[in-house]
Structure 1
Amino acid sequence: MAPTPGHAVLVVMLAAWLVPRPAHAQPMDVVVLDNGDRITGEVKKLLSGRLEFKTDKADTIQIKWDAVARLTSTNFFEVILDDAHKLYGALEAPGADGTLRVAAPTGPVDVSLERVAAIERIRQSFWSRLKGSIDLGMSYTSAEERTDWNFKATTSYRTPRWRSSLSAESLYRRSDTSSFDREDLSASLQRLYSGRWLAAVFASGQRNSELALDLRLIAGGGAGFHIVRTVEQDLIALAGLAVSRERFLDDRSDTSSLEAVIGLSYDLYALGGRSFTVTADLAAFPSLTESGRFRLEAGVDIRKELFKDFYLSLRGADSFDNRAEGSEAAKNDFSLTTSIGWSF
């Protein structure tokens, strides 16, 4: 059987998991609470108003951010403020409670703890900067003798100024009377600026038998802007251009097209804290070279943490292409899948 796009990403992720990491140094981070308690350990991240902190005598704990008076660490962090401004550096001892001092390259910067929306550690080794997840789901309907399989794998890599990502998704449906498959492999590279702006290039390959699409190759680029960036949510607007090449399963001829790209990306962390997140993406592709051609891609992911590093996922996805009119293919393809996932 020929390898699918998902196989390549799965191999990369398994290699990332199996390759030995360098041993960690003794934790040097200190958090002081507003009641005077002092806890030593390792800062993991701040997200959704909760500080994830691994203590040197217990497991990882969650500390409410409004209960923190001071935080110090010799490690290197990205600190995102409530206006989306970003600071980079270690966390030095502040002059007063309620203040975070970031040892930025240009000199120490003091900010109120109330202004800090997120903190994420920027590690030095390649493997420690690699993050990702794997989702797998299956359903069976006896009345129709139908079996559905869905697989999704994502991985990303971060530096202070750059972020890259790779994603593979497959959906297979088999029954006595019909079969259906959809595959999507995508990659992106983003340049992150100190304010709300970012620049991006992207490429993807798609197959969708429901839309009679044998292969679609896309490459493009554009710019994005953080409309909202808070502790609880992140809303990004994107715009750019893309070129595509398509081959179909019906009698339509192969086509090449120049398309505009207009999209929104939304993340919500507030519901139930860190253990419940919502991610939504919407992208419109009006063609600039094919009169009246319009495509739409949309997806919503809801994740509920089951226990450490494992979660339950519900995903809805929709693909629309008005060019299918007049052919045997459907214009619209909607799917709803559930799966169990693992993150690293």
Structure 2
Amino acid sequence: MKENVATFETDYSKNDFKIKWVEIKKIKTKTLYLVSLSSGIRYTGYLESIDDEEVGVIFKNDTLAKTEIKEIVFLRKLDQDFWSNLNASLSVGYNFTKANNLSQYSVRSNLGYRSKNWSASTSYNHIISSQQDVSKTQRLEANLVYKNYIKNKWFGLAEINWLSNTAQNINLRTLSKLGMGKYLVQTNSLYWGLQTGASFNNESFSLDGVDSSNDSAELFFGTEANLYDIGDLSFLSRVVVYPSLTESGRWRTDFNFDIKYDLPFDFYINFGLSYNYDNQPIQSGREKDYVFQTTLGWSL
């Protein structure tokens, strides 16, 4: 179960059976699960309704916890193989305008793995625009994220981000981050958390045809919110601010906002906005750049 939807296979249907989690009246499982509560506490055990109000998390004949079903925000079988713990999505988009032979290609992809105490994910977002008699432009964003879950909704964070942006004259920005975070809200309709830490920024760029690079140390402060359980829609918003420690007065911010609309057979439509701001951009680069994408995708 995730995002307030319980999913299980049946012998009598080609499609998985799905039901809204908080509408389940009673439950009893025979399989061992990783159970996450809205308080951030995680258990390993079986679920069994105690009465009409409470569900027990049971392991080796001991009741580890008693809770309302709405307080259970994540559920995953622990006897699944490696591939069953993966989640992935891929979406693509294409635009073409005959008047000026403008072509634009978009690719967005995500891959993640989650275990009991940690998770790892990676994403790739690439846009290429080509137009007659105009230089090709492109924007590439990618990251690799590792989280180690601690008690009381805290987690350790290690992350690497890559950005290539023609508008801001960035051939490649590699950002290495190390920090901590905490989920302030974990329910069956909303996840909201904060994170902070230190980062090292390496940027390569071209000035008058000469390749150059710049290194800087930064702090980062960020927040992320994921809203779902609103029909077939879900919203994901993330903003991170980077005040520089080594370049006086410089600060940057990255903002992402995604709207996802689920379609049958695990297809979806994604509307995404990415915004980057730098108050001291690289020479000949813009202070801000943003892109809006509409893509059709499929998720695993």
TM-score, with length taken from structure 2: 0.91
Partner SS state of residue 127, structure 1: helix
Residue 66 of structure 2 corresponds to residue 110 of structure 1 = yes
Residues 19-98 of structure 1 aligned to structure 2 (within 5 Å): 45-48=1-4, 50-58=5-13, 59-91=15-47, 93-98=48-53
Residue 103 of structure 2 is matched in structure 1 by: 147
Residue 172 of structure 2 corresponds to residue 215 of structure 1 = yes
Residue 244 of structure 2 corresponds to residue 287 of structure 1 = yes
Deviations 1:220-256 (A, max 9, x none): 2101111111111111101000111111122584211
Residue 246 of structure 1 is matched in structure 2 by: 203
Check 1:138–1:105 CA distance in 2 against 1; reply closer, same or farther (3 A cut).
Answer: farther
Residue 100 of structure 1 is matched in structure 2 by: 55
Counterpart AA for 1:265: E
Residue 147 of structure 2 is matched in structure 1 by: 190
Deviates more, 1:81-90 or 1:300-309: 81-90
Check 1:261–1:107 CA distance in 2 against 1; reply closer, same or farther (3 A cut).
Answer: farther
Partner SS state of residue 167, structure 2: helix
Partner SS state of residue 308, structure 1: helix
Partner SS state of residue 285, structure 2: coil
Residue 331 of structure 1 is matched in structure 2 by: 287
Check 1:66–1:294 CA distance in 2 against 1; reply closer, same or farther (3 A cut).
Answer: closer
Residue 258 of structure 1 is matched in structure 2 by: 217
C-alpha distance in 2, partners of 1:169/1:106?
48
Check 1:56–1:110 CA distance in 2 against 1; reply closer, same or farther (3 A cut).
Answer: farther
Query: What is the root-mean-square deviation in Å for CA atoms of aligned residues?
Result: 2.0
User: Per-residue deviation at 1:343?
Assistant: 0.7
Check 1:207–1:114 CA distance in 2 against 1; reply closer, same or farther (3 A cut).
Answer: closer
Check 1:66–1:281 CA distance in 2 against 1; reply closer, same or farther (3 A cut).
Answer: closer
Residue 268 of structure 1 is matched in structure 2 by: 227
Over 4 Å off, 4+ runs:
none
User: Per-residue deviation at 1:166?
Assistant: 1.2
Is the CA contact 2:206–2:212 (under 8 Å) kept in the aligned structure 1?
no
Aligned-pair identity in percent equals 23
Deviations 1:191-244 (A, max 9, x none): 012321111111122211110001111112101111111111111101000111
Residue 13 of structure 1 is matched in structure 2 by: none
Which of residues 127, 133, 141 in structure 1 aligns to 2:89?
133
Unaligned runs of 5+ in 2: none
Check 1:204–1:106 CA distance in 2 against 1; reply closer, same or farther (3 A cut).
Answer: farther
Is the CA contact 1:84–1:230 (under 8 Å) kept in the aligned structure 2?
no
Partner SS state of residue 57, structure 1: coil
User: Per-residue deviation at 1:66?
Assistant: 4.2
Partner SS state of residue 72, structure 1: coil
Q: How many residues align?
A: 295
Is the CA contact 1:216–1:246 (under 8 Å) kept in the aligned structure 2?
yes
Counterpart AA for 2:266: D
Counterpart AA for 1:281: R
Residue 180 of structure 1 is matched in structure 2 by: 137
C-alpha distance in 1, partners of 2:21/2:80?
26
Residue 259 of structure 2 is matched in structure 1 by: 302
Partner SS state of residue 74, structure 1: coil
Specify which structure has the higher proportion of helix: 1
Check 1:146–1:258 CA distance in 2 against 1; reply closer, same or farther (3 A cut).
Answer: same
C-alpha distance in 1, partners of 2:287/2:169?
10
Unaligned runs of 5+ in 1: 1-44
Is the CA contact 1:265–1:280 (under 8 Å) kept in the aligned structure 2?
yes
Is the CA contact 1:69–1:99 (under 8 Å) kept in the aligned structure 2?
no
Is the CA contact 2:101–2:131 (under 8 Å) kept in the aligned structure 1?
yes
User: Per-residue deviation at 1:123?
Assistant: 4.7
User: Per-residue deviation at 1:62?
Assistant: 2.8
Counterpart AA for 1:62: K
User: Per-residue deviation at 1:104?
Assistant: 4.5
Is the CA contact 2:266–2:299 (under 8 Å) kept in the aligned structure 1?
yes
User: Per-residue deviation at 1:56?
Assistant: 3.1
TM-score, with length taken from structure 1: 0.80
Residue 203 of structure 2 corresponds to residue 203 of structure 1 = no
